């Protein structure tokens, strides 16, 4: 029997309880007027203007509008909408962003993401889900944190609601417009893996992750990361004024609410994990997170591999992975300006060499994009010649798909992740 896509059949009338509404209020997710709207009698989402479809179980796992640049980039590159992701997948992204900003001291990193995670289709042998049709998984050969996900999140598909769309600056849509009937296609980006150069560039970060997990007496876990972002009341998947390494405590501008009572915090952690009532919820992190009171080191960068495959000597490095991340995010929309690690500390002694290296890198990027543009122009000329030879209006229509197919890969060169 062929695999069938359920499409619109999956949607049914939303069943959000009073308990769910009270939880969203307590978490501060609905404190802004008109930030949330709850469906009435409709059995299929029809979001009002400037609203998008989300789920209660997504919001309590770190999602808020406007969404974080990294999440927006993931949705764009993978060709997904929010409702395609399961609650556990949303939590994976929240943990990853918190890990990067609070414990690694870097912006969420596209190269590191590819190194750790992969996507797979969710469903049975005969049915492919649309709601929650995508699962984010840790690659089997990667050593990563024990997150303790529940085997399944019961009833989450029936708890959908509308969240207010908050566009950023020149970004027309922060969250992709809702289309519940759109089928999930598998683009080539699903199979993207970290290149050898990216693995070398992120090796320092992977080493740090292994140290966090295995340092005796200070073992770190995914549950600790989850508890941390729930405790500080900052939504990892929300676009924020400051990264988490600048978190300043109770008066932080990005906090959504006051601290949760200990019992409520423990109940929420158990709700979104597989911890039972007998399991202890960590009261604090065994590793001190970066924050306003625990500043980042003066200077940190991920060394880029030399052409020979060797790592440059200490003191002469460039954050290649960060550049790839910036280009990846630009694919979805321009990034918001925010403080970066290098601005927080003293100017490194190798600043002239570092600047020169970065200028050369960006020149190479510009050179690559220019070559792709010139190649696209040459193809356009060939297409025009074909159209002229066709000679008739009908032939023009027949050649148009060919023209678009030829030009599309080169137009993508302007926004694709360009390996440095």
How high is the mean pLDDT of the chain? 77
pLDDT of residue 316: 35
pLDDT of residue 375: 61
Q: pLDDT above 90 covers what percent of the chain?
A: 48
- Residue 413 clears pLDDT 50, i.e. is over it: no
By C-alpha distance, which of 64, 53, 72 is closest to 257?
64
The answer to whether 116 touches 143, Cβ cutoff 8 Å, is no
How many angstroms separate the Cα of 96 from the Cα of each of 62, 105, 108, 227? 11, 12, 7, 13
Q: How far is CA 194 from the centre of its chain?
A: 16
394 CB-near residues (< 8 Å, 6+ apart): none
The mean pLDDT value for 195-214 works out to: 92
Domain boundaries, the chain: 4-272, 350-414
pLDDT of residue 368: 60
**Cis upstream peptide for 295 (omega within 30°):** no
Tokens of 253: 């501008």
C-alpha span between 76 and 329 (Å, rounded): 9
pTM over 0.95: no
Query: If pLDDT is split at 50, 70 and 90, which confidence band does 339 have?
Result: very low
Query: If pLDDT is split at 50, 70 and 90, which confidence band does 168 have?
Result: low
Beta bridge mates, 137: 118
How many angstroms separate the Cα of 19 from the Cα of each of 25, 36, 121, 159, 303? 10, 15, 32, 12, 49
202 CB-near residues (< 8 Å, 6+ apart): 109, 111, 112, 115, 194, 302, 321
C-alpha span between 301 and 315 (Å, rounded): 10
C-alpha span between 106 and 243 (Å, rounded): 9
Query: If pLDDT is split at 50, 70 and 90, which confidence band does 350 have?
Result: low
- Residue 295 clears pLDDT 60, i.e. is over it: yes
DSSP class of 179: -
- Residue 146 clears pLDDT 60, i.e. is over it: yes
pLDDT of residue 30: 86
Phi-psi region of 268 (alpha: psi -120 to 50; beta: other; left: phi over 0): alpha
Greater model confidence, 182 or 380 = 182
Greater model confidence, 95 or 404 = 95
| Residue for token pair 């529940």 | 150
pLDDT of residue 34: 87
Residue 136 host element (H or E): strand 134-138
């Amino acid at each position: 029997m062929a695999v069938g896509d359920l499409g619109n059949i999956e949607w049914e009338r939303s069943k959000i309880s009073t308990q769910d509404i009270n939880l969203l209020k307590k978490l501060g997710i609905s404190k802004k007027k008109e930030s949330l709207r709850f469906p009435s009698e409709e059995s299929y989402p029809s979001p009002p203007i400037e609203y998008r479809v989300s789920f209660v179980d997504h919001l309590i796992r770190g999602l808020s509008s406007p969404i974080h640049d990294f999440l927006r980039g993931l949705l764009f590159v993978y060709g997904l909408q929010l409702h395609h992701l399961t609650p556990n997948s949303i939590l994976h992204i929240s943990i990853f962003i918190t890990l990067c900003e609070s414990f690694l001291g870097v912006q969420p990193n596209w190269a590191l993401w590819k190194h750790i995670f992969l996507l797979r289709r969710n469903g049975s042998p005969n049915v492919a889900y649309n709601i929650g049709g995508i699962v984010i998984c840790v690659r089997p050969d990667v050593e990563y944190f024990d997150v303790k996900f529940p085997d399944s999140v019961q009833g989450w598909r029936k708890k959908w609601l509308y969240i207010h769309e908050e566009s950023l600056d020149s970004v027309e849509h922060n969250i992709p417009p809702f289309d519940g009937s759109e089928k999930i296609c598998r683009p080539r980006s699903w199979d993207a893996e970290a290149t050898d150069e990216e693995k070398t560039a992120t090796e320092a970060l992977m080493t740090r992750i292994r140290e966090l997990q295995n340092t005796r007496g200070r073992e770190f876990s995914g549950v600790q990361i989850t508890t941390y972002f729930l405790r500080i009341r900052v939504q990892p998947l929300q676009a924020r004024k400051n990264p988490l390494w600048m978190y300043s405590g109770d008066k932080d501008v990005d906090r959504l609410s006051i601290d949760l009572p200990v019992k409520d915090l423990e109940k929420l952690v158990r709700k979104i994990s597989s911890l039972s009532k007998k399991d202890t919820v960590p009261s604090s992190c065994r590793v001190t997170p970066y924050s306003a009171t625990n500043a980042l080191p003066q200077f940190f960068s991920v060394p880029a591999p030399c052409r020979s495959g060797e790592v440059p000597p200490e003191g002469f490095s460039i954050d290649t992975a960060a550049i790839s991340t910036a280009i990846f995010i630009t694919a979805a929309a321009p990034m918001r300006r925010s403080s970066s690690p290098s601005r927080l500390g003293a100017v490194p002694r190798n600043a002239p060499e570092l600047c020169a290296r970065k200028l050369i890198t960006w020149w190479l990027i510009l050179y690559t994009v220019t070559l792709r543009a010139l190649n696209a122009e040459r193809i356009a000329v060939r297409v025009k010649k074909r159209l002229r030879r066709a000679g008739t209006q009908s032939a023009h229509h027949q050649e148009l798909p060919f023209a678009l197919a030829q030009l599309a890969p080169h137009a993508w060169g302007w926004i694709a992740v360009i390996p440095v």
